Amino acid sequence: MDKTKLKDLIDSIDFTAAGKQMYQLIAELYPICRSITGNGVRQTLSKIKSVVPLEVKEVPSGTQVFDWEVPNEWSIQDAWVKNSKGDKIIDFKKSNLHVLNYSLPIKKKVSLKELKKHIYTLPDHPDWIPYRTSYYQKNWGFCTSYKQFLELNDEYYNVFIDSTLKEGSLTFGEFYLKGSKSEEVLISTHICHPSLCNDNLSGIVLSAMLGKHLSNVSLKYSYRFLFIPGTIGSITWLSLNAKSASRIKHGLVVACVGDSGNFTYKKTRQGSAEIDKAVRHALQNSQNDFNIIDFFPYGYDERQYCSPGFNLPVGCLMRTPHGEYPEYHTSADNLEFVKPENLAASLSLYLDVLYILEENKKHISQNPMCEPQLGRRGLYEHIGGHADSKKLQFALLWTLNLSDGHHRLLDISERSGLDFNLISDAADILVEKGLIKEHKTRS
Amino acid sequence: MDKTKLKDLIDSIDFTAAGKQMYQLIAELYPICRSITGNGVRQTLSKIKSVVPLEVKEVPSGTQVFDWEVPNEWSIQDAWVKNSKGDKIIDFKKSNLHVLNYSLPIKKKVSLKELKKHIYTLPDHPDWIPYRTSYYQKNWGFCTSYKQFLELNDEYYNVFIDSTLKEGSLTFGEFYLKGSKSEEVLISTHICHPSLCNDNLSGIVLSAMLGKHLSNVSLKYSYRFLFIPGTIGSITWLSLNAKSASRIKHGLVVACVGDSGNFTYKKTRQGSAEIDKAVRHALQNSQNDFNIIDFFPYGYDERQYCSPGFNLPVGCLMRTPHGEYPEYHTSADNLEFVKPENLAASLSLYLDVLYILEENKKHISQNPMCEPQLGRRGLYEHIGGHADSKKLQFALLWTLNLSDGHHRLLDISERSGLDFNLISDAADILVEKGLIKEHKTRS
Amino acid sequence: MDKTKLKDLIDSIDFTAAGKQMYQLIAELYPICRSITGNGVRQTLSKIKSVVPLEVKEVPSGTQVFDWEVPNEWSIQDAWVKNSKGDKIIDFKKSNLHVLNYSLPIKKKVSLKELKKHIYTLPDHPDWIPYRTSYYQKNWGFCTSYKQFLELNDEYYNVFIDSTLKEGSLTFGEFYLKGSKSEEVLISTHICHPSLCNDNLSGIVLSAMLGKHLSNVSLKYSYRFLFIPGTIGSITWLSLNAKSASRIKHGLVVACVGDSGNFTYKKTRQGSAEIDKAVRHALQNSQNDFNIIDFFPYGYDERQYCSPGFNLPVGCLMRTPHGEYPEYHTSADNLEFVKPENLAASLSLYLDVLYILEENKKHISQNPMCEPQLGRRGLYEHIGGHADSKKLQFALLWTLNLSDGHHRLLDISERSGLDFNLISDAADILVEKGLIKEHKTRS
C-alpha cells in the first residue's frame, strides 16, 4: 500500500520517453476545434481522461459567475468560402483557425468587398493564418494567410458557416488528488485554444502528465488540477468555489511550455510567496538562463486567481511568454514549434518545484544550546558516505543552526547557498537522529 | 460658481508667457534692499500682493520664538566710501550688496588698513561683489570686487552707513487658500536676500505665481504660502503656529528655481513621505536629468520644518542647490543668471507635483472577486477613443487589481510603471462606471 | 581614583611598542605543547596571568555540558620514532606538531607499512609538518613533512609516545572587568593549539593586551575575557553560565590577528547587531581594504555563542580567515608568519571597536522644536577651534536633528556620513551646553 516518494518518482522517470508521450498526445489533440465552450472541449477532456481520471463538469449557459454570465455554447460542423467557380478556397476542414472562433452561422453570397470586411490576416507574416475570436460580440468571419487574401479576385463568393450558438453549458475538467493535508496546490491550464500547440496544448499535456505521475506518489499537499477555458473558466470555478479557494496555498498556471525558449516565471501578486521562492530555487538549480518577472494583471488565468478579493499565491511558469514569440496565436504555433525535449524539461522543472513545496518543512532543534556532538552519533559516517561530504557537513550544521522555528528548509538553503536537496537530506538525517523535529502546523 | 479643475488649469497655462511674467516681477523686485527685517521686506511683500492677496504680518522685536528672539529691525537709506579726493568709490545706490547686511550705522574717517578689515571680497572671482551678512554679531562693513580692493590706495577714506537697528518688527507674508480639506500643503520661500535673482527672487515669484494660479482652481487640500525671512522667519512662524503645524501633510521649500541647471530635490527628513514620491514621479516624467538627494539638517527652512519636534514632510525642490554654483551669493546672481524659460519649467514642475498630490486618491474595488467584465460596460469604447488604447487598458486592469485599500494611485503608477495621469484617467473612468469607489479618510 | 577615559588611553598607547610586546609573548608561548586539556594549557594561562590577572578554572573530566562531556585530560612528556639504527628520526622535542594531538601512549616496534598508517603529511607542501588532532577517536600518530615521509626506508621502527589520557580536568582562564553597567562585552579566544602562531597565539596575546589596557580605564560595559579550548571550552562555559549569558550585549571571537592579510569580519548570526555596525564603521575608518562576511555555523567559538538557543550577538574579527592561508594548521604558521606591526594594528582596531561600543550613546534633544541658536551659546567658538570646523558644524546639526530617541550616535554617524569620533565630540559639546541629554536605559 505504501506509495512511492516524490523524490524516488522523479529519479525513476524516463524524461525522454515522457517528452515523446506528451508530444504524441499533443499530436492527437491538435486537430480538434476547441473554444471556450462546446464539443471540442468535451473531446479534449475525454482524451485527457485516458491519462488522468479527471471529472468533467458542466455549468449551464446563463449561470451568473461574479460579474460575468456563462455564455451560450458554440459548436461548429463545417465552414468554407467558395469562389464563383465553386472551388472551396477557404476550408475549415483543412485548418480550424480559418474560422473566427464563436462565428455565428451564415450562408450567403457576398461581394469581394463585403467578404474582405470579414477576413482577418497577418500582413507581417504573409504565410500564416491568424487565430481570432469574438466571444462576446456577435460576428462571423474567416482567417486566412495574407498571401491568399491578396490573390482574391473581384467576384462573388459563397460563404458558409455551419455553427450553432445556443443554450448549453461550459465544460471543464477537474482532477483532485488527496494528500495528507487539506491544503492545496493548484495546477491550472486553459483548454480553449484550437489548433495551437504551444498555447496551449503544451500546458494541457504537461498538466495531465503531472497529474498522472503524482497519482502514484505519497503527497503532503492535496493537488487540484483544473482544465478550464481561459478567463470565463477560472471565473466560473472561483465563483463556484469562492469559500474553499483559500485552501489553495500554492498555485501555478501552466502555459507555453513546449517552445525552445528559456523559462520565464511570472510571480504571484503577493510577490514573495513560498511558490515564488520555490520556483526561483528550482530555476537557479536548473543551470539554464531564465527570467523572473513581476506580476501584472493581464496574461492568463493568474489574473483571476490574483484578483484583489482572492489574492491567491498563484504564479505562471512558462517558457516564452504569450505574445513574445511571432508564432503566438497563428498557424505557425504548430507541431513543429513544440519539441518533445522541451516538454520533458518543463515537466522536470515542474516536478522540481513541487518537490520543494512538498519537502519545505520547518523543524525545531531538540538541542538548541550549543552544537550537539555529531561524532558520538555516528554522523560523520553519514558524511563519509555522501558524494560531497564537506557540503553535507555544512548542510547539517546550517540545518541545526537555523532550525529555530523561523526558517523553513528553503530559507536555510537560500541563506546557506546550499542546494535544497542537500539541506533536505541533512534534515532527514537529523530527524532520524532525533536532533531536530518537524514543526507541523495545523492544516 | 464651479471652479476649474487643476488639470484643466495646467493644460490652459501659457507657460512661455508665465515665464516672462515671473521674470518681469524679478526685475521689479531686484533693486530692493531686503534683509531679515525692515522696509525692504515690506516693499517686496507689497509688490507680491499685486499678484496674490497675501496677508502681511508683523511680529515685534524681542518676541521669544522657541530658542530665539525676534531681532531688532534694520533699515538702511544710504552708504558709501569716499577716497581722499571725495570720489564715491563704493556706493550702496549702485548695488545694495556693497553693504554688509545688518551693518551698524557709521560715519568715520579711516585708514586703508582699518578699512580693509571691514571689506569683504571674492579673490576667486575678482569681478564679483560677494553678499555677506552679520545678523547676530554687531559689525559694519562693505563688500566689493576683489579687483577694486586691490586698486585701493594707501590713503584715508570716509565711510558712511546711514542705517538704523532698533526695535520694530519682523515682517512676513502669508497666503492661505482654503480647499475642501483642512489638511494643508505648505509652500515656503525665503524673502530676506537683497539683489540676488536666483536665491531667492526666483523662489518668491514662483510661489506668487503658483498662489495666483491655484486661486482659480477647485482644490482638495488647503494651501499655505509663506513668504518669510530665512531661518528666523520659519522659526517665528512655527512658534506662532506650533499646535496647528501638524495640519501640514505635504510641503515644499521653494528656492533657486531660475537658473539653467537640472532639478534637484532634497527629500524630507522622513525620506519616503508622499511628497517625496510625488516629486520623484513628476521628475521622472519630466524626461530631463535630475538629482534626488537625502535630507541633511542645513540648507533652507526645511531644516526648521524637519527639526525633530516637528518632523514635517517638507522637502526642497530646486534647480542647482545653494552653494553649488559659483554665482551663489554674489553679484553674478543677477538678471542674466535667471531665465524666463527656466522659471516657466520650474512652475510647470511644481504644478505637476501638486496635481499628483491632489489626485493621489485611494479606491476600493466594488468587484474584487475576479475581473469585472469590461466589454459589457462599454469600457472598450473608452479604450478605443484613447490616444494610447493599449496602455489605457493596462491602466484599467492595474487600477482594478490594486484598488484594495492598500494602494494609492501613485503606488499603482509606480508598481505598473504607467504614468500617473494615465492611472488617474483610468480611475476616473472606473469610478464613473461604479467599478471602484474613492476611499476617503477623515481630514 | 579617576580612571583614564578610553579615548585618552587609545591616544596614549605606543602601538609599535605594544606590537613588540605581543610578539615577545607569542615567542614565549610558542614552544608549549597545548591541547584542549592538560598542563600545556595551565602553563599558557600562567604566563598570561603575568599580563592580566585572570582566574584559572578547572572543570572535572566527565562533567556533562549540554550534549557533550568534558573529556579526560591529556598530558605528554615525550615522543619519538627511531629507525633500525636507533636514530630519532621524528622527535616531539623538536616540534610538538610531530605528535597527533591527544595520541594514546604507545611503545612498539612497527613495520614501515604499519607506521605509514599512523603518519600524517601534506603532499602539497612537502616541507611542512601538518597539525592534526584526534580528541574523540582513540588513536596514536605522528605528523611529518611529506619529504621525510618519502625518505622512510622499508625497515622496522620503534615508536614511543609518553602520554597519559585520564581523569583530570578542563582548564580555562576568565578575566572579568567590572564596568558601570552589568551588561557585558565578551572577548573570547581559543587556547588549545600548540606551536601555531597566528592560530591562535596571536588571538591569545591580543586578548591579554586588551584586558591589560582596559583595566586602567573607566568603562561603561563590563568586560569578560575568556581564554578557552576551542568548541568544548565555549560549550563548557555556556553550560556553566547558561542563565547569565544573556548579559552579553556584544561579543567578539579573537583569532588569526597576526598575519599580514586584510581584516575580515564575520558577522553575528543576527546580522545587524550593534557590534556588526561598530566593526563595520571601525573598518571603514581604517582606510584599508577589508572583508565583511555573513555568519556561517562553522569556524571558531562563535558557532556556539550563535547557536539558536543562545543567539548572542558575537562576531569574529580576524585578518585572514582560518583555512584561507596555506600556512594554516601547519608548521609554517610560525614566528615568521606573524609580525609585531600586524598585531599592533589589530589591537588598535579592536580598541576602536570597543571605543565605539562604549560611546555609542542615545540622546534626547532638549530643544526639539526648530534649531537652537548655536551662536548665542558660543558654539561657533567651539567650531572655530576645531581642526575641521565645517564638519564639526555639520556634526552638531546632525546630532541635534537626530537626537530624537530613535538614533544612537553610530546611527547618526552612518546617516550623516561623518566619522563617529566627530559625532561623539559634537554630542559631548551639546551635552555640556544642555542642548541634548543622554537617554540611559536600565542595565
Is 70 exceeded by the pLDDT of residue C386? no
Q: What are phi and psi for residue A231, nearest 5 degrees?
A: 60, -75
Looking at residue A443, what is its pLDDT?
46
Please tell me which of the candidates A137, A238, A296 has its beta carbon nearest to residue B370. Answer: A238
Using the beta-carbon criterion (under 8 Å), do B307 and C369 form an inter-chain contact?
A: yes
Chain segment C41-80, per-residue pLDDT in tens: 999 999 999 999 999 999 999 999 999 999 999 999 999 9
Strand-pairing partners, residue B226, are B174, B188
Asked if B275 reaches chain C (Cβ–Cβ under 8 Å), the answer is no
Determine what percent of chain B is predicted with pLDDT higher than 70: 97
pLDDT band at residue B389, thresholds of 50, 70 and 90? confident
Strand-pairing partners, residue C88, are C82
Strand C55-60 to C169-177 pairing: antiparallel
Looking at residue A426, what is its pLDDT?
96
Using the beta-carbon criterion (under 8 Å), do C400 and B235 form an inter-chain contact?
A: no
Determine what percent of chain C is predicted with pLDDT higher than 90: 92
For chain B, the domains span 6-70+169-359, 73-166, 362-438
Which residues on chain A are in Cβ contact (under 8 Å) with C269? 401
Using the beta-carbon criterion (under 8 Å), do B370 and A136 form an inter-chain contact?
A: no
User: How far apart, in whole angstroms, are the C-alpha atoms of residue A46 and residue A173?
Assistant: 9
Which residues on chain C are in Cβ contact (under 8 Å) with B310? 369-370
User: How far apart, in whole angstroms, are the C-alpha atoms of residue B11 and residue B171?
Assistant: 36
Is 70 exceeded by the pLDDT of residue B425? yes
Is 90 exceeded by the pLDDT of residue B153? yes
Looking at residue B443, what is its pLDDT?
46
Looking at residue C238, what is its pLDDT?
98
CATH number of A73-166: 3.50.30.90
Which residues on chain B are in Cβ contact (under 8 Å) with C376? 136
**Chain C residue whose CA is closest to B245:** C369
- Give the Cβ contact number of residue A195 at 10 Å: 21
Looking at residue C443, what is its pLDDT?
46
Measured in whole angstroms, the distance separating CA C273 from the mean position of its chain's CA atoms is: 18
Chain segment B157-200, per-residue pLDDT in tens: 999 999 999 999 999 999 999 999 999 999 999 999 999 999 99
CATH domain A362-438 topology: Arc Repressor Mutant, subunit A (1.10.10)
Neighbours of chain C (3+ CB pairs under 8 A): A, B
Asked if A369 reaches chain C (Cβ–Cβ under 8 Å), the answer is yes
CATH class of the domain whose range is C74-166: alpha beta
Using the beta-carbon criterion (under 8 Å), do B68 and C373 form an inter-chain contact?
A: yes
- Edge-to-edge strands of the sheet including B314-318? B55-60, B169-177, B222-228, B184-190, B248-254, B314-318, B263-266, B290-293
Chain segment B334-381, per-residue pLDDT in tens: 999 999 999 999 999 999 999 999 999 999 999 999 999 998 888 875
How many residues comprise chain A? 443
The sign of the dihedral angle between the CA atoms of B179, B181, B185, B187 is: positive
Question: Quick one: average pLDDT of B15-27?
Answer: 98
User: How far apart, in whole angstroms, are the C-alpha atoms of residue C323 and residue B83?
Assistant: 81
Looking at residue C384, what is its pLDDT?
53
Which residues on chain B are in Cβ contact (under 8 Å) with A238? 369-370
**Chain A residue whose CA is closest to C271:** A415
Using the beta-carbon criterion (under 8 Å), do B402 and A308 form an inter-chain contact?
A: yes
The contacts of residue A18 (CB under 8 Å, 6+ apart) are A209, A343, A344, A347
Using the beta-carbon criterion (under 8 Å), do A370 and C67 form an inter-chain contact?
A: yes
Question: Quick one: average pLDDT of B136-148?
Answer: 94
Please tell me which of the candidates B234, B235, B308 has its beta carbon nearest to residue C368. Answer: B308
Spatial contact of A132 and A194, defined as CB atoms under 8 Å apart: no
Q: Each residue's pLDDT tens digit in chain A (443 positions)?
A: 467 889 999 999 999 999 999 999 999 999 999 999 999 999 999 999 999 999 999 999 999 999 999 999 999 999 999 999 999 999 999 999 999 999 999 999 999 999 999 999 999 999 999 999 999 889 999 999 999 999 999 999 999 999 999 999 999 999 999 999 999 999 999 999 999 999 999 999 999 999 999 998 999 999 999 999 999 999 999 999 999 999 999 999 999 999 999 999 999 999 999 999 999 999 999 888 999 999 999 999 999 999 999 999 999 999 999 999 999 999 999 999 999 999 999 999 999 999 999 999 999 999 999 999 998 888 875 555 556 788 999 999 999 999 999 999 999 999 999 999 999 999 999 999 999 999 987 54
CATH number of C6-70+169-359: 3.40.630.10
DSSP code of C362? E
Using the beta-carbon criterion (under 8 Å), do C298 and A394 form an inter-chain contact?
A: yes
pLDDT band at residue C388, thresholds of 50, 70 and 90? confident
From the list B183, B198, B166, B216, the residue with the least C-alpha distance to B60 is B166
User: How far apart, in whole angstroms, are the C-alpha atoms of residue B374 and residue B381?
Assistant: 10
User: How far apart, in whole angstroms, are the C-alpha atoms of residue C25 and residue C204?
Assistant: 9
Looking at residue A3, what is its pLDDT?
75
Asked if B176 reaches chain C (Cβ–Cβ under 8 Å), the answer is no
User: How far apart, in whole angstroms, are the C-alpha atoms of residue C227 and residue C122?
Assistant: 30
Q: How many B/C residue pairs have CB atoms within 8 Å?
A: 63
Chain segment B252-304, per-residue pLDDT in tens: 999 999 999 999 999 999 999 999 999 999 999 988 899 999 999 999 999 99
Spatial contact of A407 and A362, defined as CB atoms under 8 Å apart: yes
Is 60 exceeded by the pLDDT of residue B237? yes
Chain segment C284-299, per-residue pLDDT in tens: 998 889 999 999 999 9
**Chain A residue whose CA is closest to C301:** A370
DSSP code of A241? T
Neighbours of chain B (3+ CB pairs under 8 A): A, C
Site of grid cell 487600477: B399
Looking at residue A389, what is its pLDDT?
81
Angle at C167 between CA C165 and CA C169, to 5 degrees: 100
Is 90 exceeded by the pLDDT of residue C441? no
3-state secondary structure labels for all residues of B298-311: CCCCHHHHCCCCCC
